[in-house]
Amino acid sequence: MRNGLLARTLFVAAVAAISTYLLIGLPRSGNELMANWQRNIRLGTDLRGGMQLDFQVQWREAWRGPGEPGREFRDQVMSQTREVLTRKVNGLGLSEATVQPLGRAGAEDRLLIELPGLNRDPEWVKRMLSTAAVLEWLDVRSGPFASREEAYASKGGTLPLDMQILQGPGGSWYLLARNPEVRGTDLRDAQALPTERGWATSFVLSQTAAKRFASYTAANIGRSAAIVLDHKILSVPVIEGKISDTGQIFGARTGDEAAELALNLRAGSLPAPITAHAQRTVGPSLGADSIHQGLRAGAAGLGTVAAAMISYYKRSGVHAVVALLLNGLILLATLSCLDAVLTLPGIAGLILTIGMAVDSNVLVFERIREELRAGKGAYAAMEAGFRHAFATIVDTHVTTLVACGCLFYFGTTAVRGFALTLVIGLIANLFTAIFVSRLMFDWELRKPGTPHLSI
């Protein structure tokens, strides 16, 4: 056969079979009949519903040096804040959630957080994310006092440099050591659990901190210590014995409060205060409408393009439609394999891929028709058409890929979804428009001397 026709056909069939398997797959457990694409292609906030929060990082307030902080310090604080917030949103069980810079000029101190599928009170979410979670275990030097003034008076009105005054539960005031025995950064884990005294947050210290804490508690049995979170005393327990690497924090009224504290402690302390600049809540019904409208637009576009190609290019138009369908199959299978997050702009990228794929076929077909009008035979015209159109197709695809790279690097999640789908579609189109379409022409003209080409 001409140019290994059978081998190329088997290769295309293998690509189609693998793509179909990646897209559909097999049931994984029990009677589960969900296809891979239903499991793996997750929906973004604009399609699934959820919350979108815009936080401003007060990075200048974290500066403790002389003069004005520089760009390097800002970037460091922004990076650390992003890491802490990412751990917090991941702790909510939302693997699709994203935390990234806003990506807008003049908003270098802003972070955009997207929480698809989260149906919680927006105020609770903002409070949980903005909690600094600075945990400290401080030695109690004196107290409790009925008022702040009484605490000052106990030291003659002048507070020593190694002490501070904080308010505890019930409105009492305590004189505490300024330097903590244990910090939140010393924790390895924290979990909420019910106890006989109510809900508590259990924590586990690192090995180094555990040794230090064991020495402190062993030397201060019978004395009080204060557990302080964000400069507020949660509880003032009495040290009843030596504590090594584990402990419990009481004061939570409900299990949710204990779990929230545990989540914040696991995520770590924010390096700078953050404030909610804007918020947007998207209902699932709006997302469902967007999906349905996007599917209708895609189906209408595909149908119109197929009808136009077949009516204008005859049997060659059928080749283009088959290549286009295979392009879509490869694109969706790749998205499923990558566990991609599909957004409304991502659907727009899918639809735009249809136009780009057809454009490549039009370039090839028109070049073939020119060669036929010049008097060449069917096979020679087809071969020359693909050869001359190849450079133009590659040029248009490369320039579009460069633009998509810029969108992916600088854009937000929604824009990245658009760029990702378009890039995958363009790469798949180079395979289908050149390799697969040429294969179908070779099958049509496989017999030497074929007099006619339906184009």
Dihedral (CA of 65, 187, 168, 163) sign:
negative
179 near 209, Cβ under 8 Å?
no
Point out the domain boundary residue: 128, 148, 180. 128
Q: State the alpha helices, DSSP H only, in 227-276.
A: 255-267
Q: In this predicted model, which residue has the larger pLDDT, 46 or 31?
A: 46
pLDDT for residue 95 is more than 60: no
Point out the domain boundary residue: 69, 100, 128. 128
Listed range (25-29, 158-162, 222-226, 381-385) with the worst mean pLDDT: 25-29
pLDDT for residue 348 is more than 50: yes
Residue 453 lies in a domain: no
Same domain, 261 and 172: yes
Q: Would you report the helix, strand and coil content of the chain in percent, each value rounded to 5?
A: 55, 20, 25
pLDDT for residue 179 is more than 60: yes
Which of 27-31, 260-264, 306-310 ranks highest by mean pLDDT? 306-310
What is the rounded average pLDDT for all residues in the chain? 80
Same domain, 329 and 251: no
pLDDT for residue 381 is more than 70: yes
235 near 197, Cβ under 8 Å?
no
Same domain, 32 and 55: no
Q: Tell me 430's DSSP state.
A: H
pLDDT tens sequence across 214-253:
888 888 888 888 888 777 887 788 887 787 777 777 767 7
Q: Which three-class secondary structure state does DSSP give residue 411?
A: coil
Q: What are phi and psi of 341, to 5 degrees?
A: -100, 115
Same domain, 104 and 72: yes
pLDDT band at residue 449 under the 50/70/90 scheme: low
> What's the distance, Cα to Cα, between the start and end of the chain in Å?
23
Same domain, 369 and 386: yes
Cα separation, 424 vs 330, in Å, equals 8
Q: What percent of the chain has pLDDT over 70?
A: 87
Same domain, 419 and 297: yes
pLDDT of 287 reads 61
- Look up the domain containing 306 and give its range: 5-39+283-444
Same domain, 434 and 290: yes
Cα separation, 174 vs 163, in Å, equals 10
pLDDT of 3 reads 58
Same domain, 82 and 194: no
pLDDT band at residue 40 under the 50/70/90 scheme: low
pLDDT for residue 318 is more than 50: yes
Q: Tell me 103's DSSP state.
A: -
| Number of domains comprising the chain | 3
Point out the domain boundary residue: 269, 292, 308. 269
Contacts (Cβ under 8 Å, ≥6 apart) of 230: 131, 132, 133, 134
Which of 31-40, 194-203, 211-220, 290-299 ranks highest by mean pLDDT? 211-220
Same domain, 152 and 238: yes
pLDDT band at residue 267 under the 50/70/90 scheme: confident
pLDDT for residue 404 is more than 70: yes
Same domain, 69 and 181: no
pLDDT for residue 269 is more than 50: yes
CA atoms within 13 A on the CB side of 177: 14
Cα separation, 331 vs 426, in Å, equals 9
Residue 452 lies in a domain: no
Listed range (159-168, 181-190, 368-377, 392-401) with the worst mean pLDDT: 181-190
pLDDT of 1 reads 47
Residues 157-179, mean pLDDT to the nearest whole number: 85
Which residue is associated with the tokens 């990075």? 59
Burial (0-12, 13-18, 19+ Cβ within 10 Å), 27: exposed
Same domain, 192 and 123: no
pLDDT tens sequence across 370-380:
888 888 888 88
Residue 274 lies in a domain: no
